[in-house]
Amino acid sequence: MSLYEWLASKRNKPLKKYKTAINLQVPDGLWAKCDNCGFLMYYKTLNKNFKICPKCQHHFPASSEDRIYQILDKNSWIPLNNNLESTDPLGFSDRKLYGQRLRDMKAKTGLFDAVQTGLGSIGKIKTALGIMDFRFMGGSMGSVVGEKLTRLIEIATKDRLPVIILCASGGARMQEGMLSLMQMAKISSALHRHQISGLLYITVLTSPTTGGVTASFAMLGDLIIAEPNALIAFAGRRVIEQTIREDLPDNFQTSEYLFKHGFIDLIISRIELKDKLCQILNFYKIENY
């Protein structure tokens, strides 16, 4: 007879088994773990450090709202064409209707599409800024992304402003087919008119910047800046290796590899980005345009 059964027989009634385990529930969004080094930190600590790991300097993904706060002068942001959204021109469906996918992304992120565009100042220098947001369908480039960036560049050309685009994208949006690919030419044409007007265009490549975005406006900057260890590519590693039938270096398609081979001009940490952009804008005397 077990001790439990013996006690139950003496009391003439069954004993309840009590669990002594304590359920501790940690609120969501309190802690963050670095994907690179495994360092555990408070989210507040991470946010104060521009979403960069204080131990290994790994750059966490940042939203377009984060970028606005980190780069622009306080209260200088004026959004443009903020309510443009796709109408699902092809009626596309895969595992989910494209229209429903857009509605879900809008509810999840609070954005109408994968880019925010507007005017603001960096070190009191007025600038046209486009910020892609990877949270919205992987930052994919559809008709709305192309239209908003084109309108931004046209306004900058008219008002003689520099343009800065922060890229974060998986490439062209397959749900819009050929219409998404047409945005590459449309944005590039607007940039050409901006360039021949003698105006400055800067791109900032964040991780990841891939596909049709890399093949067009991301690589057309007068200055091409990248965050440390960012993934920058057109096609995926496996596709390239199978095509050329060779193994690629481990750091292939990183910003450091591309800098070494002359594809980008600068690698700048997110913490220093605003100050460096301010120096560049002052150097080119954009305030006199």
Please state the residue numbers annotated as binding site for Zn(2+).
34, 37, 53, 56
- Show the tokens assigned to 212: 């049709």
For 123-150, letters b (16+ CB in 10 Å) and e give: eebbbbbbbbbbbbbbbbbbbbbbbbbb
Q: Which phi and psi angles does 49 have, rounded to 5°?
A: -100, 30
Nearest Cα neighbor of 63 from 100, 98, 108, 32 is: 108
Which positions make up the binding site? Answer: 34, 37, 53, 56
Angle at 284 between CA 279 and CA 289, to 5 degrees: 120
CA distances from 42 to 23, 91, 212 (A): 21, 43, 36
In the chain, count of helices (H) and strands (E)? 10, 9
**Number of other residues whose CB lies within 10 A of the CB of residue 113:** 29
Cα(81)–Cα(72) distance, rounded to whole angstroms? 19
**Maximum Cα–Cα distance for the chain, whole Å?**
97
- Show the tokens assigned to 85: 């959204």
Q: Please report which helix (H) or strand (E) contains residue 160, including its range.
A: none
Q: Which residue in the block uniquely carries the two structure tokens 């120096």?
A: 279
CA 168 to the chain's CA centroid: 4
Strand, coil or helix: 64: helix
Nearest Cα neighbor of 40 from 56, 24, 27, 25 is: 56
